[in-house]
Structure 1
């Protein structure tokens, strides 16, 4: 079996959830060819576990004069007209979509010539647009994974891209229900919920209660508005004296990094809050194992940007560490308040401070929650099970 996969960017350190799936497909004997829409991200680290993907990447440029002949097909011209009309209120998306047309058609031709039998688009944004345009040019059947901002930000062109897909997958029940409510063509169609996953069998759960001396607070993720990291800093300023000897590590990078460091300094937290930038997953894994509590203070950001289910919370529970996050989007499907972790309202530093204090005061109860969280991940978020379900969707 040969599978062509389209992503937006490669490599991208925050997309471990995609790379885990692809390495699982390789382990199952599937040949994978990976295409990226944006130019190669030089200087972006590729996690060690994802190294086998590097030789599977096909780097196709935007300048594809030969592909333009295929753009003259009536089905492609009709698709371009639909695309420009659908994105008439989103000129930046329209321009980017039009610019990638030759590349999308070249990807379709390359995948067919390679012998692929299916194309999978990771995200319903530009990757799905590329797969849809390629199919209209005589390319292969395709499927789409819908995650979060790719469907929440705008539903423009989703009826066409998802309506013509051979299969549609979301990572949460929340996402499925949202699509059925906002994209009428999907109301009566099968929309498959297959959660993002971790390789649970390879992760040894930490059996010790959370350390109180020091109390180690961990955040992993991008430093951008929808992640709500400023609320974590505000919560630490509120509760810090009650946590005794505490430390907070922030692993990740993003546009808010400098502002967050200034905020930490203004709040008098600089000696206890450490900004570590993006790290290889091997370093992140050790940080999970050492953490007393893992926090994802997600909020609904500008233009409706929000999480699906934060992969970092799945990872935290796989390591059997207490987890605190917010009750938005599909997150309550993973974190059930008081059962598998603690849920708080988004943008509420006081509630986050109280949740941190709760873990600190009763580490044994926090460990019991983490054990239930690990069991939940084993049932619903296991890589081996969910990779098999995706392959059945592609080739079944």
Structure 2
């Protein structure tokens, strides 16, 4: 299969879930091209395990002689697409402007994929990558699919109806997201959406017992430092956490780092909170194994920006580490209170402090939940099962046999 995958940015340190899928596609013998709409991100880490996918990456420049030539070669198609964007997305000027800016480059991409003989186009995220796939499809006739994750569908639903109508397959990473699409996008029924979770390579992670209590209580946060991640809530919760010997490792970076460091100092936590910046995945393995508990205190950020199901929580349970997160989006499909972990309400400082206290005070009970979480990840979040299912659906779309009415949930 000749498969083109479209992303907005590459590499992106936090998007290991995409990188892992790409590696399974390559292992399966797929002839892969990875197109990124923004220039190569030199400030991000390309994890060692994804080096081969990096060699397949190609930038799609927004303006070039070839893109302008593609625009000129398909004036009626360009006019129809521009009109549809203006009509359906025009009230959101910023989104519409970006979509229109993509038009020449995506039309050029369509020509390139047609000439290459592409079998399928897959857009990672329903925003700009899906817009590019939709336009490229209109030029090339190559079938395409869309993965819907979180803020790409929650922030705005304008133009989704048009992109979904032409797609051979719409995939969501949670049942919550499939239900949201059915409720907010005309023409989409919940059964039209294939639910395939983001996944981890379960076979590559050997779970182990957490460190003994005498080694201290180590709390781990892995992820970007921005408002929707709720790291400020975690810091405030720790200000009221009165158990001795704890420390917090924050692995990741982002626009809110300076604010969070200032908050940590203001709360008097600096001697226990360690901001460690971005790290390659090989190092993150060690942080998971040293952790007593992993926390993803997600909230609903500005303009509806929030999580799908945080990959770091899937990883935490794969390592059999106690996990605490929030009742946001699809997270309860993974973190199930009293079954696989602890779930608090977003922004609930006292609730998060209480959950941390429970894990600290009853480590054996916490470990039992973590092992149940590992079993859930093995059943529903296994990379090789879920990536192969995607490939099956791509192949079916190629043959015109992937009706949207066949909803698939991972076993």
TM-score under structure 2 length normalisation: 0.93
Q: 1:46 aligns to what? A: 46
Structure 1 residue 68, shift from structure 2 partner: 3.3
Structure 1 residue 135, shift from structure 2 partner: 1.2
Q: 1:170 aligns to what? A: 172
Q: 1:314 aligns to what? A: 314
Structure 1 residue 140, shift from structure 2 partner: 1.2
SS at match of 1:307: coil
Contact 1:248 1:274 in 2 (8 A): yes
* Mapped pair 1:279 → 2:279: yes
**More moved, 69-78 vs 275-284:** 69-78
* Mapped pair 1:22 → 2:13: no
* Mapped pair 1:340 → 2:335: no
Q: 1:4 aligns to what? A: 4
Q: Deviations over 1:251-270 (max 9, x none)?
A: 11111100000000000000
Structure 1 unaligned blocks of 5 or more: none
Distance 1:155 1:293 in 2: 36
Q: Deviations over 1:206-226 (max 9, x none)?
A: 124663531000000110011
Q: 2:252 aligns to what? A: 252
* Mapped pair 1:361 → 2:369: no
Q: Deviations over 1:104-158 (max 9, x none)?
A: 1122222222222000000000000001011112341100000000000000000
Where does structure 1 differ by over 6 angstroms across 4 or more consecutive aligned residues? none
Distance 1:275 1:112 in 2: 47
Q: 1:373 aligns to what? A: 373
In structure 2, relative to structure 1, the CA distance for the partners of 1:311 and 1:74 (3 Å cut) is same
Contact 2:147 2:170 in 1 (8 A): yes
Distance 1:60 1:154 in 2: 24
SS at match of 1:275: strand
Distance 1:208 1:297 in 2: 21
Distance 1:184 1:87 in 2: 15
TM-score under structure 1 length normalisation: 0.97
Distance 2:12 2:344 in 1: 29
Structure 1 residue 94, shift from structure 2 partner: 1.5
Distance 1:13 1:87 in 2: 30
Q: 2:409 aligns to what? A: none
Structure 1 residue 63, shift from structure 2 partner: 2.2
Q: 2:63 aligns to what? A: 63
SS at match of 2:221: strand
Contact 1:2 1:118 in 2 (8 A): yes
Q: 1:324 aligns to what? A: 324
**More moved, 10-19 vs 203-212:** 203-212
Structure 1 residue 11, shift from structure 2 partner: 0.6
Contact 1:209 1:366 in 2 (8 A): no
Distance 2:66 2:48 in 1: 37
* Count of residue correspondences: 394
Q: 2:403 aligns to what? A: none
SS at match of 1:374: helix
Distance 2:98 2:41 in 1: 17
In structure 2, relative to structure 1, the CA distance for the partners of 1:161 and 1:150 (3 Å cut) is same
Q: 2:401 aligns to what? A: none
Contact 2:210 2:321 in 1 (8 A): no
Q: 1:160 aligns to what? A: 162
In structure 2, relative to structure 1, the CA distance for the partners of 1:189 and 1:244 (3 Å cut) is closer
Following superposition of structure 1 onto structure 2, how do residues 29-178 of structure 1 map, counting pairs within 5 Å? 29-71=29-71, 72-178=74-180
Contact 1:2 1:31 in 2 (8 A): yes
Structure 1 residue 77, shift from structure 2 partner: 1.6
Q: 1:229 aligns to what? A: 231
Contact 1:317 1:374 in 2 (8 A): yes
Contact 1:76 1:136 in 2 (8 A): no
Distance 1:16 1:113 in 2: 30
Contact 1:213 1:244 in 2 (8 A): no
Contact 2:110 2:138 in 1 (8 A): no
Structure 1 residue 205, shift from structure 2 partner: 0.2
Q: 1:184 aligns to what? A: 186
Output the aligned Cα RMSD: 1.3
Equivalent of 1:207 in 199, 205, 209: 209
